[in-house]
Chains A and B, each alone.
Chain A
Amino acid sequence: AQSVAQPEDQVNVAEGNPLTVKCTYSVSGNPYLFWYVQYPNRGLQFLLKYITGDNLVKGSYGFEAEFNKSQTSFHLKKPSALVSDSALYFCAVRSYGNNRLAFGKGNQVVVIP
């Protein structure tokens, strides 16, 4: 079985401050990890993924995430948040050879001007 936990419902951050959205996962075997962002009434936009290699992954719009195998985490970070980063963020995981993604519940990020 594969699952994702996003422990916080909402993350509030002031514009210009660092943004962190937490994600922990559970999967058999090596994980493939993803972050997506969703704006109201829109589909999911891909931000970044970890498959193998460097634990620090850089993605779109200045976002990055760090894969930590010992803590089974894949937290999303951005050094300086923008108001336009306010959206719903989803972490997802799948194992090698499994084409089905398991999504977390999502985190609403609110960036305060």
Chain B
Amino acid sequence: GAVVSQHPSWVICKSGTSVKIECRSLDFQATTMFWYRQFPKQSLMLMATSNEGSKATYEQGVEKDKFLINHASLTLSTLTVTSAHPEDSSFYICSAAGTLNEQFFGPGTRLTVL
């Protein structure tokens, strides 16, 4: 089956620093990648949708300057949390969709901002 990886699986950073999370589709080309945020025991909140080679589409209420998304190739998308603060601490999950629009999810990245 389709495999999506995320790196790192967890990261701890100081307030004010930036953190980059990578999402890779390992065995298929992803025309679209999605970034979600999940708070403990809650559902996934879609942050943005990114298509290879174009700007990401952000959901209402998500700051595009704070959560920078780059989808430079058909197998890699990155989410950079800029000037991170403790309220940005969360579980971030990416998914990748191929030509049939079916989403395959990464294992998630736990971000803790001190």
Contacts and interface: CB of A to CB of B under 8 A. Distances in A.
Contacts of A105: 42-43
A27 interface: no
A75 B41 CA distance: 20
A90 B108 contact: no
Contacts of B41: 88, 106, 108
A105 B45 CA distance: 10
With most chain A CB atoms within 10 A of its CB, the pick from B4, B102, B108 is B102
Given A43-B108, A99-B101, A90 B32 contact: no
Contact of A101 (B6, B103, B107, B110): B103
18 contacts: A36-B105, A41-B110, A42-B107, A42-B108, A43-B6, A43-B93, A43-B105, A43-B106, A44-B105, A90-B44, A98-B101, A99-B97, A100-B34, A100-B46, A100-B49, A104-B43, A105-B43, A108-B41
Interface of B: 1, 4, 6, 32, 34, 41-44, 46, 49, 91, 93, 95, 97, 101-108, 110
